[in-house]
Amino acid sequence: MMPAKYTAPRGTQDFVPPESARWNALEARIRTLAERFGYGEIRTPLFESTELFVRGVGDTTDIVEKEMYRFRDRSDRDMALRPEWTAPVVRAALEHHLFALGPLRLYYIGPIFRYERPQKGRYRQSHQFGIECFGFAGPEADLEAIALAWELTRVYGIGDAVLNLNSLGDDECRPRYREALLEHFRPNLATLSEDSRRRLERNPMRLLDSKDPADAPFVETAPPLESMLCGACREHFEALKAYLDLAGIPFVVNPRIVRGLDYYNRTVFEITSSVLGAQSAVCGGGRYDGLVRSLGGPDVPAVGFALGLERFLMILEALAIAGDSPRRGVQAIALGAQARAALVPIVTELRRVLDEPTFADYQDRKLLAHLKIADRNRARLALILGSEELAAGELVLRDLENRTDRRLPLGPGKDVAAALVEGNS
């Protein structure tokens, strides 16, 4: 029988070097940034009870209606792989009584799972960096969340990022808006897309982010919520805009940003980039003052966002920002068995003292083949020991960037290592 051919599940990806190094570098930078803003890391399980997402994210959302990886465990519990982090973060904070301690700032990096139709920038397992800021009702916290996300686009020099801002109102003004939308769409019910017809009565705001051409003319003429905001929501929105101006963060008010999750109120935002094509949002978030309470907790205002790491890296690649990874490390090259034995203690020592990788290859190869491997490893230096060098009691240290050679005495491993460390500084 032919052996089976195994492939990664549809919509998932493997990350191998040097791609995995780009991920690590991005994650390291994100952690530094989040910590600089005063956020601490939270890690939650990859799966939770399905009910948490039904209650938390909303039963009319795409995520809950059709995208969850849902399964029954061996004790017949209804579970789902995490399709987003916000509901689990609130669940964990409640479970550990973290809200009792006052304001709370948490960040996370990790996978989410959504059964979507895979395409460029859309995966079934993707990865998010996100933050959740609890305990502040004022627009200062909205600014803080947006500023953190924006700072990431700034440090990477993503020039085409656009911050789209909207307000979804609150319990006072939203019901009025709902009625206005129903009045607007109902007369055209027959011409709307099937999805929109189904959604209209349950969740009319979702029609505003429909991409279906059948809906387009009616979406375009729908009344903007901004015109119907109550006084308190309007004040909040205006204050946020003023803060953004003060912080020098450019934005556009986009009434089409309604977000696909039910927990939002007041501020919502998305950061988009033209290089992403149809899946243009790299980051989405907003305020969700009612979620903690609806999951059984106290009244705790909250705001947060999540940023898709796949999409962020796609932008860097398209804008050629990531570039080639810089050369790092030493390739130890031995020509012949005797040289190989002489290099073993040196490699061991190098791995103790160097902050860069030491690559070793134990095959018999020609020098040229070894150098090719060094290039593939993106090594900065090659430490070459052949029979000639062995006889002369020397090592050749080649700078692979400039193609220059230097000779070192072949001594005990620690002496060679010391010479290399010295050469570094």
Question: Which residues of this protein are in contact with ligand HAM, per CB under 6 A?
Answer: 84-86, 114, 116, 121-123, 126, 128, 130, 132, 260-261, 281-286, 288, 304-306, 308, 310-311
Closest by Cα among 151, 164, 168, 162 to 236? 168
- 138 or 217: CB nearest ligand HAM: 138
Say if CB 124 and CB 111 are below 8 A apart: no
- 260 or 386: CB nearest ligand HAM: 260
Amino acid identity of residue 168, one-letter, is L
- 199 or 311: CB nearest ligand HAM: 311
User: 57 φ, ψ to 5°?
Assistant: -90, -30
- 283 or 417: CB nearest ligand HAM: 283
The continuous run of DSSP H or E covering 360 comes out as strand 358-360
Q: Which residue is nearest to ligand HAM (CB)?
A: 308
Rounded-to-integer distance, Cα 385 and Cα 389, Å: 6
- 256 or 414: CB nearest ligand HAM: 256
For 379, residues 6+ apart whose C-beta sits below 8 A from its C-beta are 327, 328, 329, 330, 331, 357, 359, 400
Closest by Cα among 15, 42, 16 to 31? 42
User: 35 φ, ψ to 5°?
Assistant: -70, -35
- 114 or 206: CB nearest ligand HAM: 114
What is the smallest separation between the CB atom of 131 and ligand HAM, expressed in angstroms? 7
Buried-exposed string 85-94: b where 16+ CB fall within 10 A, e elsewhere: bbbbbbbbbb
What is the smallest separation between the CB atom of 241 and ligand HAM, expressed in angstroms? 20
| Residue 295 CA, distance from chain mean position | 26
What is the smallest separation between the CB atom of 66 and ligand HAM, expressed in angstroms? 13
